[in-house]
């Protein structure tokens, strides 16, 4: 029986959401962990280093096969928070690349075009979809993070 651990990560300017899923052949994916990690306060470069090490260690210790990171979205109203998120996303990508042989990024818009018949936000808000798609507990705020993994795995 094939068992694979996949991690999805979505980034904000001040932290990230990480969802770890286990895929077993012929079964629904299982939620292993649903975590939120905030950057430490203080010096931002030092905080990035701590986050890099935390991600690297987590992925290595948990033998994660694949990591899927939600990409930035283009916005006409780019603010400092968008730029800070992009900085942290780069840290996440570097750590995941150092820890895992299979790192993918995906745009939210691509999920809507390649997964199912609905837009990503419609899946995120659909309780019935989540109750029938995963085993285990997942916070509503982590659904988008799990969706990037499920959509990428099914492609």
CB 30 within 8 A of CB 24: yes
Output the domain CATH number for residue 131: 3.30.420.10
Integer-rounded Cα radius of gyration of the chain = 15
Bridge partners (DSSP) listed for residue 35:
18
Bridge partners (DSSP) listed for residue 80:
none
Give residue 100's domain range.
Answer: 3-154
As a whole number of angstroms, the distance between CA 102 and CA 88 comes to 19
Report the domain count for the chain: 1
Q: Could you report the per-residue pLDDT of 88-110, keeping only the tens digit for each?
A: 999 999 999 999 779 999 998 88
Closest CA to 96 of 145, 62, 46, 144: 62
Q: Could you report the per-residue pLDDT of 42-85, keeping only the tens digit for each?
A: 999 999 999 999 999 999 999 999 999 999 877 777 788 888 89
CA torsion sign, 51 to 53 to 55 to 58? negative
């Amino acid at each position: 029986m094939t068992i694979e651990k996949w991690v999805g990560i979505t980034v904000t300017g001040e932290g990230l959401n990480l969802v770890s899923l286990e895929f077993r052949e012929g079964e629904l994916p299982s939620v292993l962990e649903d975590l939120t990690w905030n950057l430490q306060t203080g010096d931002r470069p030092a905080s990035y280093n701590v986050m890099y090490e935390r991600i690297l260690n987590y992925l290595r210790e948990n033998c994660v096969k694949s990591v899927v990171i939600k990409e930035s979205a283009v916005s006409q109203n780019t603010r400092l928070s968008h730029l800070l998120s992009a900085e942290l996303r780069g840290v996440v990508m570097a750590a995941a690349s150092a820890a895992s042989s299979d790192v993918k990024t995906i745009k939210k818009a691509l999920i809507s075009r390649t997964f199912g018949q609905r837009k990503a936000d419609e899946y995120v808000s659909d309780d019935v979809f989540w109750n029938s798609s995963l085993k285990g507990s997942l916070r509503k705020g982590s659904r988008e993070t799990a969706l990037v993994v499920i959509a990428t795995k099914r492609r």
